[in-house]
Amino acid sequence: MPNHLPPPLKNDDMEVADRRVLSVLEAIDGDGRITQRGLSTKLGIALGLTNIYLKRLVHKGHIKCINVQANRLRYLLTPQGIREKTRLTYEFMDYSLSLYRKVRLHLREVLQPLSAAGMQRIAIFGTGEAAELAYLSLKEQGLEPAMILDDRGGTEFLGMQVQRLASGLPPNIDRLIVATLDHPELLLKRLEHQGIPRDRLVTLRPLSDDTVRKGVA
């Protein structure tokens, strides 16, 4: 690996960066033979970005790499890396609990008036961790999701059949929760282009809150 260190990540990306660092440390801890390409696939990020994270972790003394073959590196966690993984694990747990509380509060403020007005057919778009937050928040309001939708359909999520969203909001659906915390404004625009009015779409967090970009998806 070259010795030069890549430029620092932007401050507004640090929370996402910390989560990726934790994922890298967990992956290496779970499989010391994992390759850089394997890490890239596991994290769902570009190979070049994976290389940047690995360089940083080596520079900080959290991992070390060993040449096991001519073109093969093996990554190992150092004692310092094990401590960092533990620290980030607790930090992420705290962050997740705080995020869940904020999502619950926001959805309660949005959904209670709708429920009181008789609009209780709420659908969820998405099937990831953020969709689970939306599902739990609905249950707390005494509501059952009317539908689970995504771009493909044909799978099952939380015991419900996932339907494919073709165009427009399905009949009799009062609101659609856009279940993502990763750049929700992009998904909102796409759903609007598919014929769903903006006032029928509900985000998990207020769009004015900058931290909406830094959660799970």
Kindly report, as residue ranges, where domains of CATH 1.10.10.10 are found in the chain. 11-77
Kindly report, as residue ranges, where domains of CATH 3.40.50.720 are found in the chain. 99-214
What is the residue whose two structure tokens read 């904020």?
Answer: 102
What is the residue whose two structure tokens read 């980030």?
Answer: 88
Q: What is the percentage of the chain residues whose pLDDT exceeds 90?
A: 18
pLDDT surpasses 60 at 13:
no
Q: Using CB atoms within 10 Å of the CB of residue 196, give its burial: 0 to 12 exposed, 13 to 18 middle, 19+ buried.
A: buried
Mean pLDDT of 193-203: 90
Q: What is the pLDDT of residues 31-81, one digit of tens each?
A: 878 888 888 888 888 888 888 989 999 999 999 988 767 667 888 899 999
DSSP the chain: --SPPPPPPPGGGHHHHHHHHHHHHHHHHH-TT--HHHHHHHHTS-HHHHHHHHHHHHHTTSEEEEEEETTEEEEEE-HHHHHHHHHHHHHHHHHHHHHHHHHHHHHHHHHHHHHHTT---EEEE--SHHHHHHHHHHHHTT---SEEEESS--SEETTEEEEE--SSPPTT--EEEE---SSHHHHHHHHHHTT--GGGEEESS-TT-GGGGGS--
Long-range contacts (CB closer than 8 Å, 24 or more residues apart) made by 36-39: 36/73
Rounded to the nearest 5°, which phi and psi values hold at 13?
-105, 0
In this prediction, residue 116 has a pLDDT band, given cuts at 50, 70 and 90, of confident
Q: What is the pLDDT of residues 140-166, one digit of tens each?
A: 888 888 999 998 888 988 889 998 988
Q: What mean pLDDT is reported for the chain?
A: 82
In this prediction, residue 125 has a pLDDT band, given cuts at 50, 70 and 90, of very high
The CATH number of domain 99-214 is 3.40.50.720? yes
Model pTM?
A: 0.65
pLDDT surpasses 50 at 106:
yes
pLDDT surpasses 60 at 213:
no
pLDDT surpasses 80 at 2:
no
> In the CATH scheme, what is the code of domain 11-77?
1.10.10.10
